[in-house]
Structure 1
Amino acid sequence: MTIEATAAQPRAMNWRRVTRHPSLMEYNRLVFFIAAANIAVFVMGLQDGRWFGETGFALNAIADLALINLSLGILIRQQRVVNVLFWLATRIPTSWPLWMRWGAGKVFHFGGLHSSSTVFGTLWFAFLLFAMVMNRVEGAALPSNQTLGLSGAMVALLVVLIVTAQGKFRARFHNAFEKIHRFVGWSVLGLFWAQTLSITQDTGGVLLETPAFWMLCLITLSILSPWLTLKRVKVDIEKPSDHAVIARFNYGDTPFPGSSNSLSHTPFGEYHAFANIPSPHDPGYRLAISRAGDWTSEFIANPPSHVWVKGITTSGVARIEVLFKKVVYVGTGSGIGPILPHLLAGDVPNKLIWSTRNPRKTYGDAFVDEIEANTDNPVIWDTDALGKPDLAVLTLKAVRDSGAEAVIIISNQKLTRKLVHDMESLGIPAYGAIWDS
């Protein structure tokens, strides 16, 4: 297929180049909002004296802010909460103005609430620890040494979580990050329970009457729930090439299009999320897994007979397609995996651009035939034969020719951010993963 270059320049300078820049994406706006809200509360507390009591720091007021922030940071990541957020966002009908649907489609940026609330929760807990120490220095009998020790350990571990969750560390040492996040996180939860019990003992209060107790119950259930669904399941592997495999599952779960599941070789090992490929008429689902690191390379080289699946089917970026009358899907390599279920479901008219190395050799004739049979005149670009395309030009042409309202991109981080920026600079809603976890 010959694609004529469009005369329009996706990277032309205009005001949207600034307002839609990746540094100003909705994730970062949520971070700024949480930061501004917490700083405002802190400053107002200094002005009206709410952080100080008659005999020292007002520990309860500080503890409330720590609890609110940390609870929000944890609960917003809960899989059921994520699904509810996507459900609410996609209730908006396509008859509503495009700018409203454009904004609602950014629902997957909720991670900005997770990261910022966790950071500020840690800062409030550090402030609480400081206040406890100062009260003791000033002669107060409480809190007890036990409470101080538990609080100090909790703050130290929270700092470890935040430092190791930074993007560069997470990308370079992903396996270590996942283990630290899990086991240190569980330790923090245990310390939080111990601290709450110790404070209740210090004050002579009733545990069931404390807000911290009920919030801790909710947080504990939130963290525990994915592990309650942990199961070892059979997987059938089709290996069309040494670069990719098609994994088939049929254990009683047929997920919805635009969702993902997390897999691991061992119950407490590293988990990797992959987009589900359900078929409208068949039970179970498939995953397209390509070589992208040590874990996937091992999976392809030595296909397992069984894997562990944790948690529930969770909504992903492409779930927001229903907000638009027509969309352009842009995928590279195994990025076709998250796209294919939407082509099969056919809920929203679409146009497909798929750039990949020798598609039939890599993914098999049956897989490519299935794609071609379920979307109208797809652009399947063989990079082995044609080289790398200018996807910005191809995407803009597809939007204009098809009349699509939005673009959904499934690719690597660099290309995804570039295409989202290019399209939104031209006033075209565009969506792609933001690599915040």
Structure 2
Amino acid sequence: MASSVTPGTHVRPAALTGWRLLLTRPALMPYNRLVVLVLAINAVVAGIIATTLASMPPADVATLLITMSGVNLTAAVLIRQQYVINLLFRLATSVPKSAPLAVRRRLAKVYHFGGIHVGAAVAAVGWFLGGAATVVFSDSFSVFSKGVAVALVACLVGILVPALPPIRQRRHDLFEMTHRFGGWSALTLFAVLTVALAADAADSAGAAGIGRVLAASPSFWLLLVIVLSVVAPWLRLRKVPVRIATPSSHVALADFDHGVRPFAGSSTTLARHPLGQWHSFANVVTRDETGFRLTISRAGDWTGRLIDDAPSHVWTRGIPTAGVGNVDQLFERVVWVATGSGIGPCLPHLFADTTPSKLVWATREPEATYGDDLVESIRASHPDAVIWNTSEQGRPDLVALALEEFTSFDAEAVICISNQSTTRRVVSALEALGVPAYGAIWDS
């Protein structure tokens, strides 16, 4: 969409200084601040509770600590639920563009919600360690309850360790499998432990109604919410046909038309097998066609196999889910900066033509790699797009290019879609210059 402003009339924002500049560092991004905030809240609650634990019987101590673990676990699961994610984006982007830019630029950080997941998950493990220790070292509980508590501790640690950033980055397949199957195992053990502790409580009280004990147990209801949240996406598990074209050995263009019409800026999760690896890709939707397209680049074994051995059907689950690009709705004009296959998540926004935008795309041999049709469609929708052929022009200074287009286009924000190191570098550098900048944070 063309801009209605006169190029060059926009005044560049002032560069940040002091603590505002410090907050632009990747280590202090909102995601990490949310992790610290959630852990700090739990630490305060733990400090308050600690003053009363000494006077409580072991059964009540265990119940309290395990309930607190359940509260955090519920928060960790719900914040990753697809319906909740879409709701968060809908609420954040519902603010009118007439609102002050200072408000809108902060709401646009909504995609950092994963920090709540991490903080709550770590806190849940911490609370449960205390509850499990109480169960194991107290005579108020059965041997069976003690054994289940120990098994659940081992399971939670087995999930937490592969999720540590250094391991997760090197072995993402291990992280994904332990998170899924370990998570299912943990839920099963949590359910067994909840029933076992209820049975212990019923026996110690001389009551026969374990159902009444469960109905009065917060852990039981929290567990029910968690199970419903986890099961929901799998209720929409589908094997769907796909047409895959490979304009080069680097890219696959996957076309779907199975009755689902995703919204612009959403992603679809794919798998070759329901119990195998799942990967999310941005949905490219055009106004004059049914169905949608995914642009998939070679970025590992799974995508490599998809390109080299294109299947006729793949599995999908859940619903189309909002992604970082949706924050463009908060701004009058945006500049999209993409490298290589990062163009994929940008396409639905460029083609939807709802927010005036400018594109800076750096890639090697665009036509040869992505096909003439895709490149021509980009040029048709954005004739003034800056398409930088790295094979001929070398590697560009993306920060300088983005800043130049931001200024000349009178934009309010820059959205960068690239690899992790480039995205962090560009976003951090632009934010330090006072430019509202956004990009994926690789926490899925």
TM-score normalised by structure 2 residue count: 0.92
For 1:162, the equivalent position in structure 2 comes to: 160
User: Counterparts of 1:82 and 1:379 in 2: how far apart (Å)?
Assistant: 32
Partner of residue 152 from structure 1, selected from 140, 150, 153: 150
For 2:31, the equivalent position in structure 1 comes to: 27
User: Counterparts of 1:11 and 1:382 in 2: how far apart (Å)?
Assistant: 31
User: Counterparts of 1:363 and 1:394 in 2: how far apart (Å)?
Assistant: 22
For residue 208 of structure 1, report the CA deviation from its aligned partner: 2.3
Q: 1:92 to 1:10 in 2, by over 3 A?
A: closer
CA contact 2:16–2:434 (8 Å) conserved in 1: no
Count of matched residue positions in the alignment of Structure 1 and Structure 2: 424
User: Counterparts of 1:238 and 1:428 in 2: how far apart (Å)?
Assistant: 38
For 1:39, the equivalent position in structure 2 comes to: 43
Structure 1 letter corresponding to 2:61: A
Task: Say which SS state the counterpart of residue 279 (structure 1) adopts.
Answer: coil
Query: 1:82-134 CA distances to partner (integer Å, 9 max, x unpaired)?
Result: 11111111111111111111111111111111111111101100001112234
> Using CA pairs below 8 Å that are at least 6 residues apart, which structure has the higher relative contact order?
2
Query: 1:235-259 CA distances to partner (integer Å, 9 max, x unpaired)?
Result: 1112211111211000001111111
Root mean square deviation of aligned Cα: 1.8
Give yes or no for the alignment of 1:256 onto 2:263. Answer: yes
Structure 1 letter corresponding to 2:68: L
Q: 1:430 to 1:84 in 2, by over 3 A?
A: same
CA contact 1:63–1:124 (8 Å) conserved in 2: yes
Q: 1:311 to 1:247 in 2, by over 3 A?
A: same
For 1:192, the equivalent position in structure 2 comes to: 190
Query: 1:126-174 CA distances to partner (integer Å, 9 max, x unpaired)?
Result: 00111223432xxxxx221111111111111101101011122122222
Mean Cα deviation higher: 204-213 or 284-293: 204-213
- The residue correspondences of 1:86-165 to structure 2 (distance < 5 A) are 86-136=89-139, 142-165=140-163
Structure 1 letter corresponding to 2:364: R
Q: 1:91 to 1:52 in 2, by over 3 A?
A: farther
CA contact 2:12–2:407 (8 Å) conserved in 1: no
User: Counterparts of 1:158 and 1:225 in 2: how far apart (Å)?
Assistant: 22
Q: 1:346 to 1:198 in 2, by over 3 A?
A: same
Give yes or no for the alignment of 1:233 onto 2:233. Answer: no
For 1:209, the equivalent position in structure 2 comes to: 216
For residue 9 of structure 1, report the CA deviation from its aligned partner: 12
For 1:245, the equivalent position in structure 2 comes to: 252
Partner of residue 67 from structure 1, selected from 70, 73, 89: 70
For 1:171, the equivalent position in structure 2 comes to: 169
For 1:276, the equivalent position in structure 2 comes to: 283
CA contact 1:264–1:308 (8 Å) conserved in 2: yes
Percent identity between the two aligned chains: 45
Q: 1:380 to 1:208 in 2, by over 3 A?
A: same
For 2:4, the equivalent position in structure 1 comes to: none
For 2:7, the equivalent position in structure 1 comes to: none
Structure 1 letter corresponding to 2:33: R
For 1:5, the equivalent position in structure 2 comes to: none
CA contact 1:10–1:425 (8 Å) conserved in 2: no
CA contact 2:336–2:415 (8 Å) conserved in 1: yes
Q: 1:161 to 1:55 in 2, by over 3 A?
A: closer
Structure 2 letter corresponding to 1:46: A
Q: 1:123 to 1:360 in 2, by over 3 A?
A: same
Q: 1:200 to 1:54 in 2, by over 3 A?
A: closer
CA contact 1:51–1:62 (8 Å) conserved in 2: no
For 1:18, the equivalent position in structure 2 comes to: 22
CA contact 2:61–2:131 (8 Å) conserved in 1: no
User: Counterparts of 1:246 and 1:54 in 2: how far apart (Å)?
Assistant: 62
For residue 10 of structure 1, report the CA deviation from its aligned partner: 11
For residue 228 of structure 1, report the CA deviation from its aligned partner: 1.1
For residue 303 of structure 1, report the CA deviation from its aligned partner: 1.2
Partner of residue 426 from structure 2, selected from 394, 413, 419: 419
Q: 1:12 to 1:325 in 2, by over 3 A?
A: closer
Task: Say which SS state the counterpart of residue 248 (structure 2) adopts.
Answer: coil
Query: 1:203-259 CA distances to partner (integer Å, 9 max, x unpaired)?
Result: 125122322222211111111111111111111112211111211000001111111
Q: 1:179 to 1:208 in 2, by over 3 A?
A: same
CA contact 1:420–1:431 (8 Å) conserved in 2: yes
Structure 1 letter corresponding to 2:179: H
User: Counterparts of 2:220 and 2:54 in 1: how far apart (Å)?
Assistant: 22
Give yes or no for the alignment of 1:58 onto 2:61. Answer: yes
For 1:379, the equivalent position in structure 2 comes to: 386
Q: Give the gaps of 5 or more residues in structure 1.
A: 1-7, 137-141
- Runs of 4 or more, structure 1, over 3 Å off, are 8-14, 54-57
Q: Give the gaps of 5 or more residues in structure 2.
A: 1-10, 203-209
CA contact 1:258–1:276 (8 Å) conserved in 2: yes
Structure 1 letter corresponding to 2:120: S
- The residue correspondences of 1:358-373 to structure 2 (distance < 5 A) are 358-373=365-380
CA contact 1:246–1:286 (8 Å) conserved in 2: yes
